[in-house]
Amino acid sequence: MKHSFCAEYKNCRIRPVHYEDIELFRIWRNNEALSRYLTPVGEITREMQDEWYRKNQKDEDIVTFAVDETENFNRMIGSASLYNFSEGQAEIGKTIIGDDQARGKSLGFYSELMAVYIGFQKLNLERIIARIHEDNVASIKRSKRLGYIVTGQHPFISGGNELELTTTKAHFQEVHPYLSEIKIFDEQVCI
């Protein structure tokens, strides 16, 4: 959905996706190493990415964020999303730190921390679920650091299993007593 949510924590900012961001999104999504644990969609063309952007801006069932590093690189380095909203819960995922220089610097953790915080504070969610391929060790580690607990698993479309991890608003707040350090603001302040 088109939204105006922004947040900053440490050297990371999440913000709405703008049209000029989508070519990098497409390049990252087409990178096999980056997308191996995402639902397979094949090669994405520029036309397909344009169509994705138009639909994404209208779809009330997804909030997509661009992720910026704000101190050393001062550029967009990834993405994250909240989606599948239903009865006070949503999923978190589609997180990619696509910029090679930005990986391994906790920016995936910071971006999901802020996205989940927005979900609980601004979207009135009570529960957030992450579905992560069992071989995606870095994402599982990040989710556990975020306070998620493994609650199930099921077969993944392209092989192996996908773990289901869950956190609640109360548990998330308990695990992260420093949440007041996250600044949530409107897109107009972001620009």
Which tokens is 89 given?
Answer: 């819960």
Residues 14-49: pLDDT tens digits? Answer: 999 999 999 999 999 999 888 887 878 899 999 999
Residue 188 pLDDT? 81
Residues 179, 143 contacting (CB under 8 angstroms) = no
Number of residues that make up the chain: 191
Residue 190 pLDDT? 60
3-class secondary-structure state, position 14: strand
pLDDT at 191 over 60: no
Residues 112, 92 contacting (CB under 8 angstroms) = yes
Amino acid at 129: I
What pTM did the predictor assign?
0.94
Residue 39 pLDDT? 79
Amino acid at 172: F
Residues 105-159: pLDDT tens digits? Answer: 999 999 999 999 999 999 999 999 999 999 999 999 999 999 999 999 999 988 9
Q: For 87-155, list the strands marked E by DSSP.
A: 89-97, 127-133, 149-155
Instruction: Please give the torsion angle defined by the CA atoms of residues 130, 136, 141 and 145, in that order, rounded to the nearest 10 degrees.
Output: -20
Long-range CB contacts (within 8 A, 24+) of 141-149: 142/108, 142/109, 142/112, 143/112, 145/109, 146/109, 146/112, 146/113, 146/116, 146/172, 146/175, 146/176, 147/171, 147/172, 147/174, 147/175, 147/176
Burial of 43 (0-12, 13-18, 19+ CB in 10 A): exposed
